[in-house]
């Protein structure tokens, strides 16, 4: 099989929302990437696990959100890896499982300055291309320290999983903020 470039969008997806989907669809259809995979993290190293929905539920919501879209995929590889989920370990595992894929890391410009503090950051930065999308309110990062990174504009929706969780707590509408199937599941 020919090598395919696959974009990886890492996150807690607690829950997945329309902002993630617009971003993923953009990269999967308007760049050289063949697909975008949502890598559901059981526990992101810099985040508290306290108000996290169970892993399987967050994965299921991603699966509902992307159902029928052959360019998007839900990846649960981190469920079977040590925690917290370090991206370099995940990348090693993904490369072992999918030897034919050429992975690219998708990342918001706000996250890039923190990347040098990630586990084995030097190896990670040496081993993978980064597509960095600007975030409103975040200055464009200096790419000097990131030779394999390039800025790629993408349409963004100014919502977050935090906003969805707050809306649910307050009994407010989440219609259109998440796909209808995700909304139905969250309101069950």
Ligand X SMILES: O=C(O)c1ccc[n+]([C@@H]2O[C@H](COP(=O)([O-])O)[C@@H](O)[C@H]2O)c1
Beta carbons within 8 Å of 33's beta carbon, 6+ residues apart: 5, 6, 7, 27, 104, 131
Say whether residue 174 binds ligand ATP (CB under 6 A): no
178 binds, among ligand ATP, ligand X, none (CB under 5 to 8 A by kind): none
20 binds, among ligand ATP, ligand X, none (CB under 5 to 8 A by kind): ligand ATP
Say whether residue 86 binds ligand X (CB under 6 A): yes
Q: Which of 6, 21, 23, 182 binds ligand ATP (CB under 6 A)?
A: 23
- The DSSP bridge partners found for residue 26 are none
Query: Toward ligand ATP, which CB reaches closer, 3 or 160?
Result: 160
7 binds, among ligand ATP, ligand X, none (CB under 5 to 8 A by kind): none
* Interface of this chain with ligand X, residues 164 to 183, rule: CB under 6 A: none
CB–CB of 128/91 below 8 Å?
yes
Q: Which residues bind ligand X (CB under 6 A)?
A: 10-12, 41, 44-47, 85-88, 118-119
């Amino acid at each position: 099989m020919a090598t395919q470039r696959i974009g990886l969008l890492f996150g807690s997806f607690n829950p997945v929302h329309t902002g993630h989907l617009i971003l993923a669809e953009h990269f999967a259809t308007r760049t050289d990437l063949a697909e975008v995979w949502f890598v559901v993290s059981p526990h992101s190293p810099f985040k508290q696990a306290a108000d996290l929905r169970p892993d399987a539920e967050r994965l299921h919501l991603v699966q509902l959100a992307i159902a029928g879209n052959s360019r998007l995929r839900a990846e649960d590889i981190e469920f079977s890896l040590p925690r917290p989920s370090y991206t370099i370990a995940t990348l090693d595992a993904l490369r072992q499982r999918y030897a034919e894929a050429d992975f690219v890391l998708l990342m918001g410009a706000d996250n890039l300055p923190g990347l040098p503090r990630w586990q084995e950051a030097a190896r990670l930065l040496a081993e993978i291309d980064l597509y960095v999308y600007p975030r409103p309110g975040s200055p464009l990062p200096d790419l000097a320290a990131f030779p394999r990174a390039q800025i790629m504009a993408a349409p963004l929706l100014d919502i977050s999983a935090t906003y969805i969780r707050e809306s649910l707590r307050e009994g407010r509408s989440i219609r259109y903020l998440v796909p209808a199937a995700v909304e139905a599941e969250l309101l069950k």
